[in-house]
Amino acid sequence: MNQRIAFIGAGNMAGALIAGLIADGVAPGQLIATDTSAQKCSSLGAATGILTLSDNREAVAMADIVVLAVKPQVLRQVALDLAEQVQRCAPLVISIAAGIRCESLQRWLGGQVALVRAMPNTPAMIQSGATALYATQQVSGQQREHAESLLRAVGLTQWLTDESLMDAVTALSGSGPAYYFLVMEAIEAAARELGLPAGTAHLLTLQTAFGAARMALESSDPPETLRARVTSPGGTTECALQTLEEGGIRDLFAKALKAARDRSVELSNEMGKA
């Protein structure tokens, strides 16, 4: 990618994307970051060699791609302040702000902007993220490739054809890491109750989770097939799984994801009103 990329906001996710792009071979000279915190800019510039600025509009004027990486609560004001410059320069704009719909961003930025909405999750900070993307009709095929390459620097990417599905993505991959952390927390606690030392319970829990995830990623078989392979009739695993099924684990996850999806819709409605 030989595009000049400006990150508006120099927080953790912007830092992860910048690190991923540089690891992929993008020259630091192609990257710019701005932030209201001079300390963040100084630290990021020193660590990566990229250009850091305090003026968002100056950064946009220099860029082919603008990544909006500020908190959702301040994105409206940031977008309004950038609208004139965005209309003048016509960059590809990528928003990674959770819950802000394209319609709202288009309105704040002045309309007819080539806009991609992306939903990366927190494992992106270790280049193991899962990101869903949605492009407005103003985005060209080449710009879609640029957006995908940028987000692919921190993990897997998937395109959506319906923006409303972003709320389901929020419930799945956005909130999903916390579900797995809770499962690991519960398993580790149960192992300690069975008498395992805390350190042993912790390490075995983490490695088991890692191994299962890696097996699922590297296999072409669905999870139910992998589960069946490690479940011997009448054995310990079958007994444990039966207990989980009787406890309603599937219904609990269905309710949990629906609750997260519904809350995502509510928050998007609230943040997009202005």
Tens-digit pLDDT profile for residues 65-80: 999 999 999 999 999 9
Of 118, 146, 164, which residue sits at a domain end? 164
150 and 232, same domain (yes or no): no
Residues 18 and 153 in one domain: yes
Is residue 52 in some structural domain?
yes
Regarding whether 181 and 133 lie in a shared domain, the answer is no
CATH number of the domain where residue 11 is located: 3.40.50.720
178 and 140 in one domain?
A: no
Residue-number span of the structural domain to which 33 is assigned = 5-164
Mean pLDDT lowest among 1-15, 165-179, 247-261: 1-15
- End position of a domain, from candidates 140, 164, 188: 164
Give the pLDDT band (50/70/90) at residue 274.
Answer: low
Q: How confident is the model at residue 2 (pLDDT cuts 50, 70, 90)?
A: confident
For position 237, which CATH number holds?
1.10.3730.10
Residue 274 maps to a domain: no
pLDDT band of residue 244 (cuts 50, 70, 90) is very high
Q: What is the number of structural domains in the chain?
A: 2
Of 164, 189, 213, the one marking the end of a domain is 164
Q: Does residue 100 sit within a domain?
A: yes
The answer to whether position 169 is within a domain reads: no
Are 39 and 154 within one domain?
yes
Are residues 119 and 11 part of one domain? Answer: yes
Quick: pLDDT tens for 180-225. Answer: 999 999 999 999 999 999 999 999 999 999 999 999 999 999 999 9
Average pLDDT, the chain: 95
Q: How confident is the model at residue 272 (pLDDT cuts 50, 70, 90)?
A: confident
Q: Are residues 256 and 159 in the same domain?
A: no
Does 77 share its domain with 209?
Answer: no
Beta strands 65-68 and 92-95, pairing class: parallel
Residue 145 located in a structural domain:
yes
Predicted confidence at residue 14, as pLDDT, reads 94
Same domain, 121 and 204: no
